[in-house]
Amino acid sequence: MKKLIKRVLNIELPLGQSAFLWGARKTGKTTFLKQNFADSIRYDFLKTDLFIDISKKPALLREELLAQPTEKTSKPIILDEVQKVPMLLDEIHWLIENKGFNFILCGSSARKLKRGHGNLLGGRAWRYQMLPLTTFEIQDFNLLKALNNGLIPSHYLLENSRKSLKAYVVDYLKEEIFDEGLTRNIAAFSNFLDAVGYSHGELINYTNISRDCGVDAKSVKEYFQILQDTMLGTLVFPFKKRQGRQVITKAPKFYLFDVGVAGYLSKRVIMEEKGAEFGKAFEHFIFMEILAYKTYLDMDFNINFWRTKAGQEVDFVLGDGAVAIEIKGNKKIDKTDLKHLISFSQNYSPKKCFLVCNEKRKRLMGNILILPYKTFLKKLWNGEII
């Protein structure tokens, strides 16, 4: 895997600059750092003995690093799973300020650091995020494989990832959510994850989900925030520019960070490139590509959706209404598939309108460019969409 996949993420730090690298587990953070910072001093707090020693005496980190030769400490110092030892951030802060060391602090969530009032270095560290694989990183991309296995590197490379997906979800529940003390109601949170499976990519109905979980709506909102803070998903909010009373403006949607994890939670297996289940997974996949493009290239644009109370909907609205994108899993698009984009275009006059689909060739209908998904993604990564 290390030889086959070159990641889009690029971390280039000027002298004296530190960074946080966040991302859900198994997205490839550790592999990336080993490949790109092979000569760096490394501390991995998944190692029990190291975790116990440093937890008991955080000053050990400072004492050990000060004993290293300058040629070693002049390179970024890697601290993996740093969220496990939040008290260490004060020592890191001191070493940055007084010795000019620079660090790459890697972990799956800043939430525990924030909850424990951890020192987040007051802007002294740039923020990076690792996401699952993108089409830009995969040779001979297989759409059905991506939708079923997901794009966590080790899962995508398997022939059948169902057991790995099951283990991932169960281990994440244990290791990331419960062991980190992010919630104490195990049964309610487990029921909540089941609810996420059937409500994924739809408007969130907090009341219905709270009824299914046996907790109040406030707790459900907190659970969604936990998933977002632990890099397990993204809330997408409605487009609100010049909204009338017939446009939904409050209820967000939620997309899990990986299409395979979403498929496992919803008990979905896609056998062919058609049907409602394929369409939902296909939309999720395109969303993750847009999000990865925005994240890795550090682009400053909002990702929203537009929906009216009558049911008209545009899947993604980018850049404060500059770009409207509708996703259809169909292999043949007709004019009825364009009606929501046409309505949005008449009301908000976007600069670009796209319908992304499974057709073989691109074509133009009015002001709407119909694109095969591979063409759309190539244009996206070339900077031609936004």
| 150 and 120 both lie in a single domain | no
**pTM, entire model:** 0.93
The predicted model gives 58-87 an average pLDDT of 94
Q: Is the predicted pLDDT of residue 116 greater than 90, yes or no?
A: no
d(CA 146, CA 281): 10
pLDDT over 90 (residue 340): yes
Strand runs labelled E in the chain: 18-22, 42-44, 77-80, 103-107, 125-129, 233-238, 253-256, 303-307, 313-318, 323-327, 352-357, 363-365, 368-372
Number of domains in the chain: 2
Quickly list DSSP for 261-320.
Answer: HHHHHTT----SS-SHHHHHHHHHHHHHHHHHHHHHTT----EEEEEBTTS-EEEEEETT
Question: Do both 219 and 359 map to the same domain?
Answer: yes
Residues 6+ apart with CB under 8 A from 41: 65, 68, 72, 73, 75, 77, 78
Domain hosting residue 228, numbered range: 135-381
Q: Average pLDDT for residues 99-127, to the nearest whole number?
A: 76
CA distance 378 to 367: 20
Give 235-257 pLDDT, tens digit per residue: 999 998 866 667 777 889 999 99
We report the CATH number of the domain holding residue 38 as: 3.40.50.300
Measured CA to CA, the distance from residue 315 to residue 249 in angstroms comes to 14
Q: What is the pLDDT of residue 182?
A: 66
Average pLDDT score over the chain: 91
pLDDT confidence of residue 235: 95
Give residue 117's pLDDT band: very low, low, confident or very high (50, 70, 90): very low
For the cut 80, the answer to whether the pLDDT of residue 112 exceeds it is: no
Instruction: For residues 194 and 81, state if they share a domain.
Output: no
Domain end point (choices 129, 152, 167): 129
Q: 75 in a domain, yes or no?
A: yes
Residue 184's pLDDT band (cuts 50, 70, 90): confident
Domain end, chosen from 108, 129, 150, is at 129
Q: What pLDDT does residue 113 have?
A: 64
Convert the pLDDT of each residue in 192-217 to its tens digit.
988 998 889 999 999 999 998 888 99
Q: Pick the range with the lowest mean pLDDT from 10-19, 119-128, 137-146, 218-227.
A: 119-128
Do 302 and 376 lie in one domain? The reply is yes
pLDDT per residue as tens digits for the range 32-47? 999 999 999 999 999 9
Residue 2 lies in a domain: no
